[in-house]
């Protein structure tokens, strides 16, 4: 019997291939979209879960509580781990120091360099061997004990192949970091999985860092409890049976015991353990892991996938019930021949299952085709495996759920047909449940699609606002050339500057720590006007030479910028700093003194107009700009718009001449700023893609309902035409109802969309306002789409020969 049902199902698909094709296409698109979303979620939620001790591994983090808000940081003071090992002997700790953007030079031997120079990203991590008791890696040669000695390092397989041609030839070879730190390869590890927040590429021993701490000048004092760097982190492996709460409860006493006297410093400090499994999703901390994913965004993505598959199921119900009228004679004959309701329902379910299976196969093909483009709408640059145990289980579950959801109502309707009415083809709208249900389903469909349309319009508008926002500085055609902080590099900087100033295409030039708008989060406590008590907020620090303001177009409001670098250091502050210190008139604060951290009291010589320190998600921070050549290693070059390429090549040639042993690394400031919004940009693209899919599926749903109505109104249309009705009046007959349905859907979707997107915009301090235009555009687009979709079927019905319509059974 089951075999017979399958044969009949295939025959019906062949007979009603138009309806079957639409069903299969709609479900295939939805299944493909859901499968891709599942793969993204599977990938994101698998981060660092493969470590054997993942549930017992924690990152020690800090929270500074100030009147103007909380500040979270992963950076720990350097004496922390010694104190922890003294007070918590049963807990295993490990400390690391991460290096970003370091140069790696391949050595021919311990003394002779080669011509291979690379600028590496965040994968250089100085680590203690205890770290690998917490995090699992596969050792190809050597092991973690190599990290017990200074000057030794472990290296990943891919980096070993990159530097030495074959990882097997890497053991015992030498590398030099930043032209200063010589390391020998003593172990080779397998590349870490892509779902790891620890992208180990080169892992020198932590003792190597200690032996070369002068290279990292801002960490020269390893006994200083008063400062920290996000580069320096501490991890803990708790014993079996212990929990983080017990440790956290002892932290106040620990800080009281070791931390310096804070009676003259406002705010409170907390240390606590953050579980390894939370690192990937904790947006409170910057520079943490490979990348941070918001759980809210991932749940939004899951919701979009659910809505898409529900819309496809709604389509199936609409089209199947429309087709049920055509199949009424078949059902009547089956009942007359003794067919039971349960058998009819089983047949419908099996037909639905066959269609869903065809759709799943097509959907897998679409997903396979779409996966290479996933990197443009998600923060996943590695290829994902389409078929794995998890995705196969998910696909089977979706096939089963879709079959049940899509087949339930059509099976219920067709099994209730009365045999006599069915054979006489007297099945009407009431017999299949009326069109009220289908109206509700279409309203839901368009509510979903309009929700995504509104979200897309708002997301795109916000990204356009970000691109065009006034940052309080000039970001166009500014090239940032990254340098080193070692003495050899700094000693040649005057020659490099002199030669750059001879290049015709360079308009302005400044040497700085970073640009005014960057991801630098260097802050410190501060005191004002010779008052020993620190203020209740931290100051953000920018460092640049006397050309800093003119290079970036900073606007001076009062006083002047400080003179050249060989003079006594002075401070320039921004408007926000002046206001927080109680001066609404910038001129009144010029001449006052500020002390940063434990430094000297220095005068304020100028006030500049506020500029955006970081992204538009953040408030403008009170900022101090000062001149400290020791840290000003980035050449900030304002280039003439004409001949950008040639000027850039000239700059690189000068670099190669002055710094032949240093790799050239540069970036455009506007691109660097745009990277702040990488996730939002991809979210905007994702909304566009899935709004397009929702519209496409909604159109299929409308087509299903208008097909049903066209069948039901065949004779009515014929009578109207015989009585003189025009084509336009018949078009109005069909479109009026759908227009009402779209408007009802808009009324439902608009407040939900406003609530959700208003919450999303709350992540930005600087943002657009959600005006009425967004919703007008959404409803207009939805109506236009609906009219186009309905119009095709309505015109065919209106142009049909009335004689044939009146003869229609």
3-state secondary structure 147-199: HHCCCEEEEEHHHHHHHHCCHHHCCCCEEEECCCEEEEEEEEECCCCCCCCCC
687-721 per-position pLDDT tens digit? 888 888 888 888 877 776 676 666 666 666 667 66
What pLDDT band is residue 385 in, cutting at 50, 70 and 90?
A: confident
Provide the H-helix boundaries in 16-71. 17-45
User: pLDDT value at position 264?
Assistant: 45
Rounded distance between C-alpha atoms, residue 452 and residue 202, angstroms? 44
Of the spans 61-65, 148-152, 791-795, which averages the highest pLDDT? 148-152
- Which residue is it, tokens 């590496």? 120
Confidence of residue 677 (pLDDT cuts 50, 70, 90): confident
Confidence of residue 382 (pLDDT cuts 50, 70, 90): confident
Rounded Cα distance, 373 and 351, in Å? 33
Q: What is the pLDDT of residues 634-661, one digit of tens each?
A: 999 999 888 888 899 999 999 999 999 8
pLDDT in the model for residue 297 = 82
What average pLDDT does range 466-493 have in this prediction?
88
Instruction: Output the pLDDT for position 715.
Output: 66
Lowest mean pLDDT among 261-265, 341-345, 616-620, 693-697: 261-265
User: How many whole angstroms separate alpha carbon 359 and alpha carbon 30?
Assistant: 9
Assigned token pair, 211 = 């032996």
User: Buried b / exposed e across 36-67, counting CB within 10 Å, b at 16+?
Assistant: bbbbbbbbbeebbeebeebebbbbbbbebebe
Calculate mean pLDDT across residues 161-182: 92
Please report the pLDDT score of residue 92 as a whole number: 96
Give the integer Cα–Cα distance in Å for 690 and 767.
23
pLDDT at 185 over 50: yes
Average pLDDT, integer, range 582-593: 93
Say yes or no to pLDDT of 54 above 50.
Answer: yes
335 versus 29: which is more confidently predicted? 29
SS3 766: coil
H helix or E strand, kind and range, residue 96: strand 92-99
Q: What is the pLDDT of residue 699?
A: 80
- Give CA–CA dist 689/33, Å, rounded: 10
pLDDT at 7 over 80: no
Cβ burial of 692 (10 Å; 0-12, 13-18, 19+) is: middle
CA dist., res. 72 & res. 379, Å (int): 23
Phi-psi region of 185 (alpha: psi -120 to 50; beta: other; left: phi over 0): beta
**CB contact at 8 A, 613 and 596:** no
Q: pLDDT: is 560 or 801 the higher one?
A: 560
Residue 577 has pLDDT above 90, yes or no: yes
pLDDT at position 619: 87
Q: What is the per-residue pLDDT for 314?
A: 84
* Residue 169 tokens, joined: 């030839």
| pLDDT confidence of residue 512 | 93
641 neighbors 477 (Cβ within 8 angstroms) = yes
Examine the pLDDT at 303 and tell me if it is beyond 60: yes
Average pLDDT score over the chain: 84
pLDDT of residue 702: 75
The reported pLDDT for the residue numbered 588 is 93
Q: What's residue 330's pLDDT?
A: 61
| 337 compared with 228, residue with greater pLDDT | 228
69-73, 173-177, 740-744, 758-762: which range is least confident on average? Answer: 69-73
246 within 8 A of 92, measured Cβ to Cβ? no
pLDDT at 434 over 50: no
pLDDT bin (cut points 50, 70, 90) of residue 569 is confident
pLDDT above 90 (res 337)? no
The strand pair at 601-608 and 593-596 is best described as: antiparallel
Residue 303's H or E segment, with its range, is: helix 295-326
Does the pTM of the predicted model rise above 0.75? yes
- Residue 263: the pLDDT is 46
Strand 666-668: give its sheet, edge to edge: 506-512, 634-639, 478-481, 666-668
- Rounded mean pLDDT of 8-18? 75
Whether 219 has a pLDDT exceeding 70, the answer reads no
How would you label 660-673 residue by residue, b for 16+ Cβ within 10 Å and e otherwise? Answer: eebbbeeebbeebb
Please report, for residues 55, 56, 237, 325, the alpha-carbon distance to residue 241 in angstroms, rounded to integers and kept in the order given: 11, 9, 12, 65
Strand partners, 95: 234
Average pLDDT (176-185) is 91
pLDDT at 352: 83
Does 277 or 262 have the greater pLDDT score?
Answer: 277
| 612, 472 contact by CB (below 8 A) | yes
């Amino acid at each position: 019997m089951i075999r017979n049902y399958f044969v009949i199902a295939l025959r019906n698909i062949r007979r009603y291939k138009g309806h079957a094709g639409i069903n299969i296409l709609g479900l295939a698109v939805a299944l493909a979209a859901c499968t891709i979303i599942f793969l993204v979620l599977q990938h994101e939620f698998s981060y660092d879960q493969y470590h054997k001790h993942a549930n017992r591994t924690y990152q020690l983090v800090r929270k500074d509580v100030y009147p103007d808000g909380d500040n979270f940081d992963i950076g720990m003071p350097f004496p922390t781990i010694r104190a922890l090992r003294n007070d918590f002997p049963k807990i295993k700790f490990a400390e690391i120091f991460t290096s970003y953007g370091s140069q790696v030079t391949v050595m021919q031997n311990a003394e002779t360099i080669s011509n291979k120079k690379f600028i590496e990203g965040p994968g250089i991590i100085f680590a203690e061997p205890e770290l690998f008791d917490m995090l699992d890696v596969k050792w190809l040669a050597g092991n973690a004990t190599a990290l017990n000695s200074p000057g030794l390092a472990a290296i990943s397989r891919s980096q070993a192949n990159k530097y030495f041609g074959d990882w097997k030839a890497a053991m015992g070879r030498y590398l030099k970091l930043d032209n200063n730190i010589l390391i020998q390869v003593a172990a080779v590890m397998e590349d870490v999985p892509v779902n790891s927040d620890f992208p180990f590429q080169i892992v020198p021993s932590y003792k190597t860092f200690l032996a070369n701490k002068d290279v990292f000048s801002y960490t020269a004092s390893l006994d200083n409890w008063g400062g920290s760097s996000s580069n320096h982190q501490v991890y803990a492996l708790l014993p079996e049976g212990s929990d983080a709460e017990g440790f956290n409860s002892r932290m106040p006493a620990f800080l009281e015991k070791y931390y310096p006297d804070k009676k003259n410093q406002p705010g409170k400090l907390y240390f606590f353990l953050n579980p390894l499994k939370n690192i990937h999703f904790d947006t409170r901390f910057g520079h943490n892991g490979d990348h941070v994913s918001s759980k809210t965004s991932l749940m939004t993505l899951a919701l979009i996938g659910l809505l898409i598959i529900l819309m496809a199921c709604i389509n199936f119900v609409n089209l199947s019930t429309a087709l049920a009228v055509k199949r009424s004679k078949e059902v009547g004959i089956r009942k007359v021949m003794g067919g039971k309701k349960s058998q009819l329902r089983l047949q419908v379910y099996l037909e639905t299952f066959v269609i869903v299976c065809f759709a799943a196969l097509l959907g897998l093909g679409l997903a396979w085709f779409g996966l290479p483009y996933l990197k443009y709408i998600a923060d996943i640059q590695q290829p994902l495996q389409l078929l794995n145990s998890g995705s196969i289980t998910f696909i089977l579950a979706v096939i089963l759920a879709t079959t049940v959801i899509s087949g339930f109502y059509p099976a219920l309707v067709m099994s209730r047909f009365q045999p006599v009415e069915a054979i006489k083809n007297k099945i009407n709208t009431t017999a299949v449940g009326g069109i009220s249900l289908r109206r509700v389903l279409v309203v839901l469909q368009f509510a979903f699609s309009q929700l995504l349309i509104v979200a897309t319009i708002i997301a795109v508008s916000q990204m356009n606002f970000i691109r065009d926002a006034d940052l309080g500085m000039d970001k166009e055609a500014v090239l940032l050339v990254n340098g080193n902080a070692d003495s050899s590099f700094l000693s040649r900087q005057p020659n490099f500057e002199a030669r750059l100033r001879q290049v015709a295409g360079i308009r302005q030039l400044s040497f700085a720590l970073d640009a005014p708008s960057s991801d630098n989060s260097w802050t410190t406590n501060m005191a004002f006007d010779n008052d020993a008590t620190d203020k209740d907020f931290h100051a953000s620090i920018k460092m640049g030479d006397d050309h800093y303001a003119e290079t970036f177009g900073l606007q001076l409001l009062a006083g002047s910028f400080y003179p050249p670098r060989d003079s006594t250091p002075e401070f320039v502050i921004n408007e926000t700093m002046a206001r927080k210190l109680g001066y609404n008139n910038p001129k009144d604060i010029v001449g006052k003194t500020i002390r940063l951290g434990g430094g000297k009291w220095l005068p304020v010589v100028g006030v500049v107009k506020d500029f955006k320190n970081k992204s538009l998600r953040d408030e403008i921070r009170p900022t101090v700009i000062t001149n400290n050549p020791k840290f000003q290693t980035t050449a900030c070059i304002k280039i003439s718009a004409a001949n950008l390429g040639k000027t850039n090549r000239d700059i690189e040639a000068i670099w190669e001449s002055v710094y032949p042993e240093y790799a050239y690394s540069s970036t455009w400031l506007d691109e660097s700023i745009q990277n702040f919004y990488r996730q939002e940009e991809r979210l905007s693209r994702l909304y566009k893609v899935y709004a397009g899919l929702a519209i496409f599926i909604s159109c299929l749903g409308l087509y299903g309902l208008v097909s049903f109505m066209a069948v039901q109104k065949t004779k009515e249309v014929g009578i109207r035409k015989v009585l003189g009705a025009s084509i336009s009046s018949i078009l109005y007959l069909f479109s009026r109802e759908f227009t009402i349905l779209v408007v009802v859907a808009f009324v439902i979707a608009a407040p939900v969309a406003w609530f959700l997107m208003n919450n999303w915009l709350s992540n930005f301090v600087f943002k657009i306002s959600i005006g009425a235009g967004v919703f007008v555009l959404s409803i207009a687009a939805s109506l236009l789409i609906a009219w186009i979709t309905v119009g095709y079927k309505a015109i065919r019905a209106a142009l049909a020969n009335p004689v044939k319509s009146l003869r229609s059974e």
